[in-house]
């Protein structure tokens, strides 16, 4: 069974797999993989759907990882066509998930099908780790859970390509070799509610928090390094008052997020924040959430052969970057697996009229195919 990557993408985007609901997209992928010889193992973790598929020997095992879930389409009036019907206009293919990341999944399926047909016997193994929980808050029920199950079964991939959109102006012009870590804090600072006419009888939490916010927002956390920009912090929510123009609020709620480099750890950031509040004689309630540690892949056979494959096909050496948000690569790297991210262009992801260039599909499929040859043939 063979399909071109555009046909595969058209089928994949037709499933309205809004995170974390898969809506049958993974069943289609598993049926496709079974027909070319893969064994598929369903590893659902409600409400997230997951599966692992494999073919060949245990080592070296090249794993293709990705997610079938997409973000909501948003206002349909902002789209020029149905977001769940692949539509071609002016050499571009429009649909929700076309770039992030069902385009990558279609290329993986196409590349592996061609590889297995051309080389029915090969020394290593091929695998797929697919989840429907990457885009939302249930990410811990997806890739981390599957990796734990694989570890329990004694399965450890050697290499992993995550199909997240990584390219900038042409497919293959950039490889993500790492990502920054993400740390969030939910903070409550208590004051004392009162009448604005009698401020001496109240404690305004907005006022007492203001010096802390000034210090935190102007703090230089680090200077980054050759691979990562400096650690940054952003205020993502600030809420207080609203009871009336003459009422001093009794508390303020604050949410912060750090995107941090390998120059920091979650513990060091938490310690610096605690000291800042102590300097201002405040004892807030803080709930910390580590969304992921930074990871970095600066060398190894996977990176070497991926660069070689891209140069062979495009004639240009790719940039090695760590920009963007978090991805499931952080969980894979934590298991000691060589991991990179290589996929479609990211310029339209999560937007209305998300799209890819029609020629990008075959280009990315060819790159994946050549990587398979270089690593496991």
In the chain, where the domains are located: 5-179+294-376, 181-291
Mean pLDDT for 29-44 is: 98
**In this predicted model, what pLDDT tens digit does every residue of 348-375 receive, in sequence order?**
999 999 999 999 999 999 999 999 999 9
Q: For 77, which DSSP code? A: G
Residue 26 is predicted with a pLDDT of 98
Q: Where are any strands of DSSP class E within 261-361?
A: 285-292, 295-296, 319-321, 338-341, 355-357
Q: Do the domains 5-179+294-376 and 181-291 sit in the same CATH topology, yes or no?
A: no
The partner residues of 39 in beta bridges, in order of sequence, read 54
pTM: 0.91
Would you identify the CATH topology of the domain 5-179+294-376? Answer: Aminopeptidase (3.40.630)
**Residue positions annotated with a catalytic role:** 69, 134
**In this predicted model, what pLDDT tens digit does every residue of 88-146 receive, in sequence order?**
999 999 999 999 999 999 999 999 999 999 999 998 999 999 999 999 989 999 999 99
Question: Cα(9)–Cα(285) distance, rounded to whole angstroms?
Answer: 47
Question: Cα(306)–Cα(368) distance, rounded to whole angstroms?
Answer: 8
The residues, ordered by sequence, that sit 6+ positions from 61 with a Cβ below 8 Å of its Cβ are: 54, 124, 125, 126, 127, 155, 156, 157, 158, 159
Q: How far is CA 86 from CA 81, 169, 170, 305, in A?
A: 9, 22, 21, 32
Please state which of the four CATH numbers 2.60.40.1220, 3.90.950.10, 3.30.70.360, 3.30.930.10 is assigned to the domain occupying 181-291. Answer: 3.30.70.360
Q: Is the pLDDT of residue 2 over 80?
A: no
**In this predicted model, what pLDDT tens digit does every residue of 255-280 receive, in sequence order?**
999 999 999 999 999 999 999 999 99
Mean pLDDT for 43-58 is: 95
3-state secondary structure of 301: helix
């Amino acid at each position: 069974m063979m399909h071109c990557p555009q046909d595969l993408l058209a089928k994949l985007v037709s499933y309205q797999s809004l995170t974390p609901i898969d809506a049958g997209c993974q069943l289609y992928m598993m049926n496709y993989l079974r027909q070319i010889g893969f064994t598929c193992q369903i590893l659902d973790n409600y409400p997230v759907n997951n599966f692992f598929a494999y073919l060949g020997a245990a080592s070296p095992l090249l794993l293709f990882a990705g997610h079938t879930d997409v973000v909501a389409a948003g206002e349909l009036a902002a789209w020029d066509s149905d977001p769940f019907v692949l539509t071609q206009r002016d050499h571009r293919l429009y649909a929700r998930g076309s770039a992030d990341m069902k385009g990558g999944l279609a290329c993986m399926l196409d590349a592996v099908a061609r590889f297995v047909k051309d080389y029915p016997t090969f020394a290593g193994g091929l695998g797929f780790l697919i989840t429907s929980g990457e885009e939302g808050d249930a990410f811990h029920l997806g890739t981390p859970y599957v990796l734990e199950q694989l570890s329990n079964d004694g399965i450890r991939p050697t290499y992993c390509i995550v199909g997240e959109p990584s390219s900038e102006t042409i497919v293959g012009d950039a490889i993500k070799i790492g990502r920054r870590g993400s740390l969030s804090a939910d903070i409550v600072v208590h004051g004392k509610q009162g009448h604005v006419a009698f401020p001496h009888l109240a404690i305004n939490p907005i006022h007492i928090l203001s010096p802390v916010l000034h210090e935190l927002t102007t703090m230089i956390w680090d200077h980054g390094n050759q691979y990562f920009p400096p650690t940054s912090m952003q205020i993502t929510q600030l809420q207080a008052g609203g009871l009336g123009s003459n009422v001093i609020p009794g508390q303020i709620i604050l949410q912060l997020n750090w995107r941090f480099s390998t120059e920091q750890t979650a513990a060091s950031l938490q310690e610096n924040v605690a000291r800042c509040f102590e300097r201002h004689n405040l004892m807030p309630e803080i709930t910390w959430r580590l969304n992921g540690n930074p990871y970095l892949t600066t060398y190894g056979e996977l990176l070497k052969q991926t660069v070689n494959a891209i140069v062979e096909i495009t004639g240009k050496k790719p940039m090695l970057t760590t920009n963007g948000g978090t991805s499931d690569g952080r969980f894979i790297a934590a298991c000691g697996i060589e991991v990179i991210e290589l996929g479609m262009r990211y310029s339209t992801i999560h937007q209305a009229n998300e799209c890819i260039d029609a020629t990008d599909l075959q280009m990315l499929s060819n790159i994946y195919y050549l990587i398979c040859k270089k690593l496991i043939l």
